[in-house]
A and B are shown apart, each in its own frame.
Chain A
Amino acid sequence: MQASRRTFLKVCATGVGSSSLTLLGFAPGAALAEVRSFKLARATETRNTCPYCSVGCGVLMYSLGAGAKNVHGRIFHIEGDPDHPVNRGTLCPKGAGLVDFIHSENRLTQPEYRAPGSREWQPISWDDAFTRIAKLMKEDRDANFETTDKDGRTVNRWNSTGFLAASASSNETGYLTHKVVRSLGMLAFDNQARV
């Protein structure tokens, strides 16, 4: 039998087992080892876009994990989306390494706090962090909020705390952030587009 590389992969990937392999010239021994199946075949495919530059390449993310309670899916492979009209399946050297971004050892995993003058981080709960941050913000806002300026004009601004918004967060995050920031009266507000 003539088997092209493609046929061979197909046969192995579907894992149909001994009969096809016999045809290919692999005689099964006494103990039948399972043929390693193609991992992507059992993976969940999720569509996303690359978070780096602004080409907006489509990517396909492959994860394992059945989705059952207490089973956390893990993305193990990312490749270009061949349906995407711009990148048509390709990725650049950065995009090709995206899976290492998701699993970087420098991903932050818990809220941390550094006290004044301290040399180290200490863990803090989300609720304690939110409570403490809100208290600091309120103290600063209440002390420095300008309802009117020196000429008596209504200005309703808070210039002593600033906010730098992201460059890769979603529109939905950006919209919510803008709304919240302006409701507090902040003008010291910028995003990465500035630099």
Chain B
Amino acid sequence: MTNHWVDIKNTDLVLIMGGNAAEAHPCGFKWVTEAKAHRKARLIVVDPRFTRSAAVSDYYAPIRAGSDIAFLGGLINYLLTEDKIQHQYVRDYTDMSYLVKDEFGFEDGIFSGYDPEKRKYDKSTWGYQTGPDGFVLADPTLQNPRCVYQLMKAHYSRYTPEMVERICGTPKDAFLKVCGMIAETSAPDRTMTIMYALGWTQHSQGSQMIRTGAMVQLLLGNIGVAGGGMNALRGHSNIQGLTDLGLLSNLLPGYMTLPGEAEQDFPAYLAKRSPKPLRPGQLSYWQNYPKFFVSTMKAWYGDAATAENNWCYDWLPKLDKTHDILQVFEDMSNGKVHGYICQGFNPLASAPCKVKVSGSLSKLKYLVIIDPLATETSEFWQDHGEYNDVDPTKIQTEVFRLPSTCFAEEDGSLVNSGRWLQWHWKGAEPPGEALNDQEIVAGIFLKLKALYKKDGGAFPDPILNLTWKHRQPANPSPEELAKEFSGRAIKDVLDPKDPTKVLVKAGEQLNGFAELRDDGSTACGCWIFAGAWSEKGNLMARRDNADPYGIGQTLNWSFAWPANRRVLYNRASCDTEGKPYDPNRKLVGWDASSGKWGGSDIPDFKVDSSPSDGMGPFIMNPEGVARFFARDMMAEGPFPEHYEPLESPIATNPLHPDNPKARFNPAARVFKGDWASMGEADQYPYVATTYRLTEHFHYWTKHVRLSAIVQPEQFVEIGEELAAAKGIKAGDPVRVRSKRGFIVAVAVVTKRLKTLEVDGKPVHTVGIPIHWGFKGVARNGFITNTLTPFVGDANTQTPEFKAFLVDVEKLPVKV
């Protein structure tokens, strides 16, 4: 979230699209209710299903799963055509006036530089025109045909209300009603929040759906303001934190990135990630990258990391490709991955295409499961009848299942969607012999380290030198680890303006990332968490819920990254003079008397930069402003374009009916062997979409008695029209089949799923909750991801769980 849960109460309009907060995030959704009750805010829900969020909305518009870019692109077209944009914001805080290279182009659904063989783009034309001074050229009048505004206007002019209706199945009047309500928030003192979740991420073009939403918010001036923002409602309690800490193939902590194998030169690695400002007077805060990087390496490798060895740069593994979960299962299926460790992750249920995952796991030499619960993955080799029909004697994988603690049995911090690091405390001992995760990681690592020390082996240096300063080496404490990622001074940290002044003494905890240095004098495991545990103590454990400004900014409750800031980009809540657009919801403002920015939040800005300096509010971008034109940062193009899901109910992309290359995401990665596993509408005519129920959490709560009582049995939702056509009544058993397998479940026949008219034909949607499996106290069921396709978003490789094709058949009723 750019904003946070409580801030939703400050909004005038809520758009829930690609999510269902009322059911999936119920206690956060209450802030929507609060805004409706106390600010007369309105709620719009756009969703393939009439969800419980929709049930309490002021307006609901149906949409075909997977067509959100068409809808939002149509909204952009409406806002530009009707001139319902926040003019000053767009002019001064975005790239609208920047000139784009003449070579950049877009033709029949494909951007310049496409290689259809590799399914990849050469992005060299996706950039700005620059002047002799190196700065980007701009036309403040927005008249130049190569400026971002003109290119964008032309790009989305194709997204007419009629085209939206044709692609999305949303009736034109419903679409225009939504546009009209949203357009009202272009007024500087009106704001909208967008709340989305996996309904946007789990598509082959999910990242671009989210981008299109962000572009709408920028046009309306709704980013950086109270009650506004792009608010990702994360799915699990700490995937925000684990992402922040960089536990992904290509990341380092704090959104730093691992080097690729071509990046052999350390200064060049740093320079590439420390961009110089693209416009005069801009901060481009990533220029501090060397400080963050060196401090992380000092935290990891201590005295072994020196200026002479480039702070152990060579010790970092260099990427040949991104080894995301889909890539790893692909490599596993080809025998290239022999060992796998699953720490609190159940990929047999959570990853797409169960038959491929199961077959891949069967090829492993060893599998280690670390979990509080008996997961399906841990028994992928076990015969569980129709739910997991395998022959154990043919599976040669050695499996270890190691019991870990759950939340109630440990101390530590989690990061919620609002970026709050909240500390929690242990309330009981774990059952039996279960150990906490740190003990288990330490147990394996210390054995490995001892083996490398004794016997040597492949490149032991990083293993032998990894920082491990714990009072109990076999049980690193949460307090020690939190202090390590928060950061400390190795030598005295001096004030750069007055080197006689010591800011932090050697050995002390740092106050924040501004104190980080690139000379090895600071160690900090995750720069964006810096200051979470300072000399003042553990700020994540703070529990003062005082709200002095009355807009929900509880700055002394826990610690929010970065720098305890609650609303990102909050400088953009003020006009160019530094005055808040809405003084009643003031986050920050310029105080000329003190020469500083201040207010109810920590300014997301250079605190003493006067408005007259002309520094833009998006200080992490080298432009200083927000981008409509994504340059070379997205896989499939600088402007989002609608493409069909990999499995689509219609034969062509209605925007490019004559170009099969532009039918689905031209940059989506599909592994060679998987093309044959994709179905077409003649055999699998219905759109399927998967989701959570409010009574269950993923594959955990089927182990929980209360949840198993309230939702005991697997079901699928089928609209009344499809049910009538198939002779299916509520309660009938049905088989749902995709090209990759089938599940059997009870039919729930519902008015919630309407048949939509898409590209001239009726399209039915089947809704499939995800929560069942063959382990648990609820009734056993089929793993829903048996059905889903093995393809991900072209940027993130997040699987396309939200739009694929199935067939449905009625089964004889069991007696």
A92 at the interface (CB under 8 A from B): yes
Question: Which residue of chain B has the shortest Cβ distance to A165 in the bound complex?
Answer: B247
* In the complex, B270 has a CB within 8 A of chain A: no
B316, B317, B429, B462: the one within 8 Å of A73 (CB): B429
Closest residue on chain B to residue A149 by CB atoms: B261
Contact status B242-A100, CB under 8 Å: no
B255 at the interface (CB under 8 A from A): no
B402 at the interface (CB under 8 A from A): yes
Q: Is the CB of A189 within 8 A of B374?
A: no
A85 in contact with B241 given A49-B407, A117-B395 (CB within 8 Å): no
* Interface magnitude class on chain B: 35 or more
Interface string of A101-119 (1 = CB under 8 A from B): 1101111111111111111
The B743-794 residues at the A interface (CB cut-off 8 A) are 775-777
Is B249 touching A187 in the complex (CB atoms < 8 A)? yes
Asked if residues A138 and B239 are in contact (CB atoms below 8 Å), the reply is no
The reply on A174 being an interface residue by CB < 8 A is: yes
Known contacts A100-B706, A171-B415; A107/B343 CB under 8 A: no
Q: Which residues of B contact A63 (CB under 8 A)?
A: 427-428
State whether A194 touches B236 (Cβ < 8 A).
no
A104 surroundings in chain B (CB, below 8 A): 373, 703-705, 777
Nearest CB in chain B to that of A190: its residue: B325
Q: Please, which residues of chain B bring their CB within 8 A of the CB of A193?
A: 234, 239-240, 242-243, 247-248
Given known A-B contacts A108-B372, A109-B434, A156-B317, A138 and B420 have beta carbons under 8 A apart: no
Contact B696 A189 (CB under 8 A): no
From the candidates B318, B425, B433, B543, name the one contacting A126 in the complex (CB within 8 A): B433
Q: Which single member of B300, B407, B427, B443 contacts A183 (CB below 8 Å)?
A: B300
A164→B425 contact, CB < 8 A: no
Asked whether A97 lies within 8 Å of B428 as measured between CB atoms, the reply is: no
Query: For B705, what are the chain A residues with a Cβ–Cβ distance below 8 Å?
Result: 97, 100, 104
Q: B249 near A133 (CB under 8 angstroms)?
A: no
Asked if A141 and B242 sit within 8 Å, CB to CB, the answer is no
Enumerate A125-159 residues with CB–CB distance to B below 8 Å.
126, 129-138, 140-142, 144-145, 147, 149, 153-159
Interface residues contributed by chain A, number (CB under 8 Å)? 118
Nearest-CB distance from A106 to chain B (Å)? 4
Q: How far is the CA of A193 from the CA of B206 in the complex (A)?
A: 14
Q: Known: A48-B407, A136-B366, A174-B238. Contact between A153 and B382, CB under 8 A?
A: no
How far apart are A137's CB and chain B's nearest CB, in angstroms?
6
B812 at the interface (CB under 8 A from A): no
Structural contact, A101 and B416, CB atoms closer than 8 A = no
Known contacts A121-B401, A170-B414; A46/B466 CB under 8 A = no
Residues of B within 8 A of A80 (CB): 27
Give the distance to chain A from B726, nearest Cβ to Cβ, in Å: 31
Docked Cα-Cα span, A63 to B393, in Å, equals 45
Which residue on A lies nearest to B705, using beta carbons? A100
Tell whether A114 pairs with B547 under 8 Å between CB atoms, given A156-B315, A174-B242, A187-B319. no
Q: Do the beta carbons of B340 and A161 come within 8 Å of each other?
A: yes
Q: In the complex, A163 Cα to B801 Cα: how many Å? A: 22
Q: Which of A46, A97, A113, A157 is within 8 Å of B400, CB to CB? A: A113
B337:A159 contact, CB within 8 angstroms? yes
Determine if A100 and B707 form an interchain contact, defined as CB atoms under 8 angstroms apart.
Answer: yes
Best-buried of B328, B339, B443 by chain A (most CB within 10 Å): B339
> B133: shortest Cβ distance to chain A, in Å?
36
Q: Does B689 contact A (CB under 8 A)?
A: no
Closest 4 CB pairs of A and B: A109-B432, A56-B416, A166-B344, A170-B412
Sample of 19 more A-B contacts, CB < 8 Å, known A54-B235, A181-B247: A49-B422, A63-B428, A92-B694, A94-B694, A109-B432, A110-B403, A116-B398, A131-B447, A136-B398, A158-B317, A159-B320, A166-B345, A166-B437, A174-B245, A179-B467, A190-B323, A190-B325, A191-B345, A192-B236
Q: Which residues of A contact B (CB under 8 A)?
A: 44, 46-58, 61, 63, 65, 72-75, 80, 83-87, 90-98, 100-102, 104-119, 121, 124, 126, 129-138, 140-142, 144-145, 147, 149, 153-195
